[in-house]
C-alpha cells in the first residue's frame, strides 16, 4: 500500500478583491503518494497555480483559504509562519511558473543556491559551494563551476530553468511542486528538463506535483492526473486510463485538441468559448456553456464527483457507466 505524503481536503482559496470574490480554487480534494508523479492540467485561469501556492501558503494577502492540507498527516493550514518556513524548501520545494519570482537578478546563481542550502543545513560555506556545484552538474548545466559565478541575466532561459530546478532540489525535498517548469523552453530543452525531473524523482524517491497545460507532458511522465476546470476538479484518473477512456466532455475536448502530426485535417480542434470569470461563475455545471453534451439538468445543478472505475472519478451528469461497487 503506497504511503500518502500530501492530502488535500475541501481546499478553497478565494481572493477577496475590490471588485468581488475570485473563487480561484473552489473545493478540491486529491492526494499525492510518496514517490509518485501526479499531474494537474487545465486551461489558463483554472486555478492550478493558486492550488500550488495554497499548499505552500504563498498567497496574496487578500486570499482566504479553507479546508485541509495534510502533509505527512499534519494540517499545514494550522502551521505558524516559522513552521511554514521550515516546510518550504526542506519538505516541499517549488519551481515557480514565473522564474523572476525565484531568481534574484542582483546575486550570482551560486550565491542563491548556497543560500538555499545554508538556510536549512548547518554546513560550512565551502561544503555549500561544493554541494551547489554538484547539484548544478546533476541538473545538466554545462561547466557548473563557471555558471556558479554568473548572474541570471548571463544565462539562457533553459539554463535559468535548470538553476531553478537545482535550487528546488538541493535541499532534497520530499515533494517537488513544479508549476509549468518547461513552458518557455524549446522542445528539445523541454524534453531534457522533463527527463531530468523524472531521473531525479527516481533517484531521490521524491513525490512530484506537476502543473501544466500540456497533455503531452502529462502523458510522458505522470502516473496519475487531475483535470481542473474553473477552480474545481472535473476528472481524475490513472494517466493511461485517462487517455484510453476520457469521460468528462472537457477532458475529451482537451485530448481532441492535441495536434496530430499524421492528420490530414488542416484545422485544429478546439474547445469553443473560454474559461469563465471566477468572479462570475455560471450556475449549474461550470462547463455547461461550452459543453457539446450539456442537457437541461446541467444548467441548474452542479454534479458531484462520482467514482466510475478504480481511481477514476468524474464530475458529469452525462457519464452513465459508474460501476455501483465504486459509488
Ligand atoms: N492576486 C490575484 N488577485 C486576484 N485574482 C487572482 C490573483 N491571482 C490569480 N487570480 C485569479 O485566480 C484564477 C486562477 O489563477 P491561477 O493563476 O491559479 O491560474 P492557472 O490555472 O495557474 O493559469 P495559467 O495556466 O495561466 O498559469 C484566475 O482567474 C486569476 O485571474
Ligand atoms: Mg499558473
Dist. CA 183 → ligand 2 center (Å): 10
Asked whether residue 312 is assigned to any structural domain, the reply reads no
Q: If you count them, how many residues does the chain have?
A: 327
Test site for ligand 1: of 12, 41, 42, 48, most ligand atoms within 8 A of the Cβ: 48
Q: Indicate which residue's Cα is closest to atom 30 of ligand 1.
A: 45
Residue ranges with CB less than 5 Å from ion ligand 2: 48-49, 97
For residue 49, the CA-to-ligand 1 centroid distance in Å is 7
Distance 50 CA to ligand 1 centre (A): 6
Q: At which residue does the C-alpha cell 494540517 appear?
A: 75
The pLDDT score that the predictor gives to residue 209 is: 97
Residue 85 sits in the same domain as residue 121: no
DSSP state string for 211-252: EES-HHHHHHH-SEEEEEETTEEEEEEEHHHHHHS--SHHHH
Site residues for ligand 1, CB cut-off 6 Å: 15, 17, 22, 24, 42, 44-50, 60, 97, 213, 278
pLDDT at 245: 93
Answer whether residue 83 is part of any domain. Answer: yes
Element containing residue 130 per DSSP (H, E): helix 125-138
Q: Are residues 187 and 67 in the same domain?
A: yes
Instruction: Give the C-alpha distances (Å, rounded to integers) separating 146 from 59, 138, 215, 320.
Output: 35, 15, 36, 60
Residue 72 has pLDDT above 50, yes or no: yes
Burial class (CB in 10 A: 0-12, 13-18, 19+), 212: buried
Distance 29 CA to ligand 1 centre (A): 19
Mean pLDDT for 141-145 is 91
Nearest CA to ligand 1 atom 8: 50
Q: What is the pLDDT of residue 139?
A: 82
Q: Are residues 43 and 111 in the same domain?
A: no
Residue 251 lies in a domain: yes
Q: Which of 222, 248, 270 is the last residue of a domain?
A: 270
* Range of the structural domain that residue 111 is part of: 103-170
Report residue 145's pLDDT band, with 50, 70 and 90 as the boundaries. Answer: very high
Distance of alpha carbon 130 from alpha carbon 117, whole angstroms: 11
Name the domain count of the chain.
Answer: 2
Average pLDDT over residues 120-140: 90
pLDDT of 16-47, one tens digit each?
Answer: 999 899 999 999 999 999 999 999 999 999 99
In a domain, 209, yes or no: yes
Cα-to-chain-centroid distance, residue 178: 6
Which band of pLDDT confidence, cut at 50, 70 and 90, is reported for residue 301?
A: very high
Task: Answer yes or no: do 134 and 67 share one domain.
Answer: no
Local confidence band at 203 (pLDDT 50, 70, 90 cut-offs) = confident
Crossing angle (nearest 10°) for helices 109-120 and 125-138: 120
Per-residue model confidence (pLDDT) at position 97:
77
pLDDT tier for residue 326 given thresholds of 50, 70 and 90: very low
Confidence band of 133 (pLDDT split at 50, 70, 90): very high
Q: What 3-state class would DSSP assign to 273?
A: coil
pLDDT of residue 327: 42
Whether 144 is in a domain gets the answer: yes
CA of 193 to the centre of ligand 2 (A): 18
* 96 in any annotated domain: no
Give the pLDDT band of residue 263 (cuts 50, 70, 90): low
- Looking at the fold, whether 84 and 191 belong to one and the same domain comes out as yes
> How far apart (Å, rounded) are the C-alpha atoms in residues 115 and 34?
27
CA dist 73 and 75 (Å) reads: 7
Amino acid at each position: 500500500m503506497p504511503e500518502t505524503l500530501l492530502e488535500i481536503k475541501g481546499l478553497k482559496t478565494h481572493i477577496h478583491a475590490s471588485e468581488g470574490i475570485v473563487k480561484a480554487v473552489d473545493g478540491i480534494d486529491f492526494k499525492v503518494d510518496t514517490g509518485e508523479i501526479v499531474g494537474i492540467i487545465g486551461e489558463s485561469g483554472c486555478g492550478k497555480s493558486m492550488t500550488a501556492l495554497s499548499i505552500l501558503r504563498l498567497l496574496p494577502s487578500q486570499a482566504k483559504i479553507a479546508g485541509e492540507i495534510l502533509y505527512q498527516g499534519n494540517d499545514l493550514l494550522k502551521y505558524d509562519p516559522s513552521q511554514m518556513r521550515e516546510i518550504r524548501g526542506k519538505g516541499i520545494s517549488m519551481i515557480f511558473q514565473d522564474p523572476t519570482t525565484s531568481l534574484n537578478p542582483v546575486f550570482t546563481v551560486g550565491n542563491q543556491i548556497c543560500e538555499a542550502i545554508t538556510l536549512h543545513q548547518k554546513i560550512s560555506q565551502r561544503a555549500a559551494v561544493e554541494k551547489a556545484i554538484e547539484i548544478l552538474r546533476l541538473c545538466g548545466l554545462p561547466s557548473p563551476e563557471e555558471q556558479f559565478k554568473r548572474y541570471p541575466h548571463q544565462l539562457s532561459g533553459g539554463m535559468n530553468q535548470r538553476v531553478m530546478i537545482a535550487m528546488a532540489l538541493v535541499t532534497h525535498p520530499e515533494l517537488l511542486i513544479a508549476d509549468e517548469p518547461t513552458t518557455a523552453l524549446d522542445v528539445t530543452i523541454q524534453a531534457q528538463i522533463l527527463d531530468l525531473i523524472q531521473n531525479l524523482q527516481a533517484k531521490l524517491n521524491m513525490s512530484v506535483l506537476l502543473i501544466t497545460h500540456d497533455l503531452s507532458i502529462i502523458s510522458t511522465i505522470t502516473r496519475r492526473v487531475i483535470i481542473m476546470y474553473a477552480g474545481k476538479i472535473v476528472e481524475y484518473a490513472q494517466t493511461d486510463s485517462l487517455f484510453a477512456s476520457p469521460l468528462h466532455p472537457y477532458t475529451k475536448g482537451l485530448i481532441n485538441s492535441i495536434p496530430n502530426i499524421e492528420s490530414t485535417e488542416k484545422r485544429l480542434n478546439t474547445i469553443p468559448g473560454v474559461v469563465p470569470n471566477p468572479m462570475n461563475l455560471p450556475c449549474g455545471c461550470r462547463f455547461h456553456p461550452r459543453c457539446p453534451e450539456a442537457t437541461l439538468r446541467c444548467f441548474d445543478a452542479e454534479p458531484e464527483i462520482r467514482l466510475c472505475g478504480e481511481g477514476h472519478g468524474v464530475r458529469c451528469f452525462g457519464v452513465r457507466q459508474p460501476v455501483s461497487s465504486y459509488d
